[in-house]
């Protein structure tokens, strides 16, 4: 297994070019360069990059996977109505996963699972945080499989949520509760 040579660290400014390239390669949606700036400078976004120390091509600190997320107030999130208890009143927060990806040649080694665990650990460390959530396009079976395996619950289907090249696609909303349910 290559697990022992993979480590996780925050994304930094020197990663912007590669990060932008990987996003372009693996996502059907374009992200603005401002997004990558915000990620790399930690402006309202937390992030982890996976790097492979065993590479001998001089890229042993280059991201081969990433996860980006944002802390949001429960009241300002689109899922507040789906949460039980007094989420609306009590200043609860949530962590929203924006993007997650692993380059093709590194898939199926548990790297995305580890990146998700980093976010769950982070969310668990925030006293006000209730849950981690995300949207995934309905045809992305590998990702849906992964979220279910990681005990995320699918709580909503959003018809036509994504608009890609003039076509509407449904999305699923997945939630992982760190406190309560
Ligand atoms: N050996 C073999 N298989 C393994 C190992 C291992 N050591 N470890 C885990 N796996 C298996 C997992 O169990 C899982 O499926 P299975 O249990 O049924 O076999 C499968 O591999 C995937 O788990 P990971 O390895 O943790 O995931 P991976 O690192 O391959 O990344 C991802 C998954 C992110 C979906 C990847 O395919 C990808 O980048 N896709 C394109 C971008 C994308 O779709 N991102 C998510 C969009 S949604 C969003 O961004 C919010």
Indicate the SS3 state at residue 44.
coil
Write down the pLDDT at residue 82.
79
Kindly list the protein residues whose Cβ atom lies closer than 6 A to any atom of ligand 1: 1, 26, 97, 99-102, 107-113, 134, 136, 140, 142-143, 145-146, 149
Domain boundaries defined on the chain: 3-177
In ligand 1, which atom is closest to the CA atom of 27?
Answer: 42
pLDDT-derived band at 83, boundaries 50, 70, 90: confident
Q: Which CATH architecture has domain 3-177?
A: 3-Layer(aba) Sandwich (3.40)
Better-predicted residue by pLDDT, 140 or 82 = 140
Write down the pLDDT at residue 48.
98
Report how far residue 150's alpha carbon sits from residue 176's, in angstroms, rounded to the nearest whole number: 8
In ligand 1, which atom is closest to the CA atom of 136?
Answer: 48
- Closest residue CA from atom 22 of ligand 1: 108
- Closest residue CA from atom 51 of ligand 1: 99
- Arithmetic mean of pLDDT, 141-147: 98
Report how far residue 25's alpha carbon sits from residue 28's, in angstroms, rounded to the nearest whole number: 8
* ipTM of the complex model: 0.87
Residue 112 has pLDDT above 60, yes or no: yes
Cβ-based neighbour number of residue 114 at 10 Å: 18
Indicate the SS3 state at residue 95.
strand
Indicate the SS3 state at residue 56.
coil
Report how far residue 170's alpha carbon sits from residue 137's, in angstroms, rounded to the nearest whole number: 6
Write down the pLDDT at residue 21.
97
- Arithmetic mean of pLDDT, 113-129: 97
Residue 147 has pLDDT above 70, yes or no: yes
- Arithmetic mean of pLDDT, 93-106: 97
- Arithmetic mean of pLDDT, 85-93: 70
Closest Cα to residue 35, out of 8, 66, 59, 9?
A: 66
In ligand 1, which atom is closest to the CA atom of 134?
Answer: 51
- Closest residue CA from atom 48 of ligand 1: 136
Report how far residue 110's alpha carbon sits from residue 107's, in angstroms, rounded to the nearest whole number: 7
User: How many Å lie between the centroid of ligand 1 and the Cα of residue 73?
Assistant: 29
- Closest residue CA from atom 19 of ligand 1: 108
Residue 1 has pLDDT above 50, yes or no: no
Residue 135 has pLDDT above 60, yes or no: yes
Write down the pLDDT at residue 19.
98
Residue 87 has pLDDT above 70, yes or no: no
Handedness of CA 124, 135, 97, 149 (dihedral sign): positive
């Amino acid at each position: 297994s290559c697990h022992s040579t993979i480590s996780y660290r925050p994304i930094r400014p020197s990663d912007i070019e590669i990060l932008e390239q990987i996003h372009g390669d693996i996502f059907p949606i374009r992200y603005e360069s401002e997004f990558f700036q915000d990620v790399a400078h930690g402006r309202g976004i937390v992030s982890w990059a996976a790097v492979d120390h065993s590479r001998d091509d001089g890229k042993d600190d280059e991201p081969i996977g990433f996860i980006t997320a944002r802390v949001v107030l429960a009241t300002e999130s689109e899922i507040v109505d789906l949460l039980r208890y007094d989420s609306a009143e009590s200043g609860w927060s949530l962590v929203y996963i924006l993007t997650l990806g692993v380059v093709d040649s590194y898939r199926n080694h548990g790297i995305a699972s580890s990146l998700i665990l980093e976010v769950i650990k982070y969310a668990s460390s925030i006293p006000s945080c209730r849950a981690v959530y995300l949207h995934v396009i309905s045809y992305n079976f590998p990702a849906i499989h992964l979220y279910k395996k990681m005990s995320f619950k699918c709580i909503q289907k959003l018809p036509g949520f994504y608009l890609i090249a003039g076509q509407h696609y449904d999305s699923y909303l997945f939630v992982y509760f760190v406190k309560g349910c």
